[in-house]
Structure 1
Amino acid sequence: MEAYTRTAATDTDMRALGAAVARHVRGGDVILLSGPLGAGKTTFAQGFGQGLGVREPVVSPTFTIARELEGAFPDGTPAHLVHVDAYRLGDTAYMPGQNTADRLLDELESLGLDEELEDPGERTVILIEWGEQMAAALAPERLEIRIDRGEPGDLDTDQPTSDGPRTVTITPVGERWNGRESR
């Protein structure tokens, strides 16, 4: 799979893109979503959940850090989705000499998420919002999805907003993604 870029002009388009990506994942995959506040990460995650057959609402797990949801892969095999929001992780003081990745791993361990995130099971898919700061530490094989709001000047504000088109760049990292359809 090669990197590619898509435009999502509406929330509906963003959900459809999330659902399309979900149709290509397998158990053990890690997907990292990044982008500024209001870019559409949770909207993408909602579509992703729909694409995995999750029937529960997919909402931002900002305050719970992680939510576990059940669905199914396109072939009907049960799928376990772990939806993590890492925005609040790493916001406490670091110990002297401790690097960012180690601190994040410590926090994940305290939440009981470290083992599942480091080695997802054969039916588990991990979707991490704000995960770019822990990408290399957690998942050397991953799908990075960067969502950006339009070009400066497209909107009359620099503040976070759900309005306007989004540019979505999807980049596979590692051999795990070789041979998969890219679109």
Structure 2
Amino acid sequence: MIGEDGTSVIRVLAPTAEDMRRIGSRLASLVRGGDVIVLSGPLGAGKTTFAQGFGRGLHIAGPIVSPTFTIARELVGRSSGGAPLRLVHVDAYRLGTLGFEPGQASADTLLDQLESLGLDEELDDPDEHTIVLMEWGSQMAAVLASARLEVSIERPLEPKPVRGKDEGCGVLSGDGPRTVVFRAVGPAWTQRMDDLRKAVEA
């Protein structure tokens, strides 16, 4: 499938939490050192569940939890071929919300905060043994990582009647299947989209 902007897109249904982990694990089997994965979706969509599967696919022994309060965590794993890999798991939810100066652009603030955390170079040019998985990172991805795989998780909507108005105003449901959307940005992931489609749809 080709998106509106001409990029390659894959959509896959995740009916259960274990399906979400499986999809994350299948993605991990295709990553290479230097890859940047940007993970987005509303609260409760399943980002941490996806990240758990991703970590499982990288043979990471420790638990994968949301690094919201630590901003970033480093975990050691290995690729499907056995090569050692370092996973930098970043939660950018709070980045860009603090420390604005009058007239300062949000992108500048993000860059300053990432630099203070030592993450700007990780995103701009990860080394051959590093994978970056960034949650809530879509706002800064275009600024920092010209080549990346964007993964967005969509939650279902359920109708919510509103008195005096037409019914059918959608609200995010806490239950039900999720849809995981993969979008390749740059040639490195565009070339792997056929393999990714086969892996996540199997």
TM-score after normalising by structure 2: 0.84
Q: How many residues align?
A: 180
Partner of 2:113: 107
Task: Give 2:127's match in structure 1, choosing from 104, 108, 121.
Answer: 121
Q: Which of 48, 51, 73 does residue 45 from structure 1 map onto?
A: 51
Partner of 1:136: 142
Deviation of the 1:115 alpha carbon:
1.5
Are 2:84 and 1:78 aligned? yes
Tell me, in whole angstroms, the C-alpha distance in 2 between the residues paired with 1:107 and 1:20.
Answer: 32
Query: What's the counterpart of residue 170 of structure 1?
Result: 182
How far has the Cα of 1:159 moved from its partner?
5.9
- Aligned partners of 1:52 and 1:72 also within 8 Å: yes
Question: 2:135 is aligned with what amino acid?
Answer: E
What SS does the corresponding residue of 1:54 show, helix, strand or coil? coil
Deviates more, 1:128-137 or 1:1-10: 1-10
1:22 pairs with one of 17, 25, 28: 28
Q: Secondary structure at the match of 2:159?
A: coil
**TM-fit CA distance, 1:17:** 0.4
Q: Would you say the 8 A contact 1:38–1:160 is kept in 2?
A: no
Partner of 2:153: 147
What is the identity percentage for the equivalent residue pairs of Structure 1 and Structure 2?
A: 59
Aligned counterpart for 1:65 among listed residues 54, 60, 71: 71
Report 1 or 2 for greater relative contact order, CA contacts < 8 Å, sequence distance ≥ 6. 1
Shift of 1:93: 4.1
SS in 2 for 1:135: helix
Counterpart of 2:102? 96
**Cα distance in 1, alignment partners of residues 173 and 70 from structure 2:** 22
- Give the structure 1 partner of residue 166 of structure 2: none
Contact (CA 8 Å) 2:37, 2:149: kept in 1 or not? yes
Which ranges in structure 1 are unaligned for 5 or more consecutive residues?
none
Q: 1:126-150, CA deviations, whole angstroms, 9 ceiling, x for partnerless residues?
A: 0000001001111110000010101
Q: Distance in 1 between matches of 2:69 and 2:173?
A: 19
8 Å CA contact 1:37, 1:160 repeated in 2: no
- Report if the CA contact (8 A) 1:21-1:48 is conserved: yes
Specify the structure having the higher radius of gyration (Cα): 2
Aligned CA RMSD, in angstroms, stands at 1.8
Aligned to 1:182: 196
In structure 1, distance between residues paired with 2:57 and 2:180: 17
Matched-pair contact (CA < 8 Å) for 2:150–2:184:
yes
Instruction: Decide which moves more: 85-94 or 24-33.
Output: 85-94
For residues 153 and 179 of structure 2, the distance between their equivalents in structure 1, rounded to whole angstroms, comes to 6
Amino acid of the structure 2 residue aligned with 1:136:
A
Q: Is the 8 A contact 2:27 2:54 kept in 1?
A: yes
TM-score between the two structures when normalised by the length of structure 1 = 0.92
Q: Distance in 2 between matches of 1:46 and 1:139?
A: 23
CA distance in 2, matches of 1:112, 1:4: 32
CA distance in structure 1 between the partners assigned to 2:173 and 2:15 by the alignment: 16
1:4 aligns with 2:10: yes
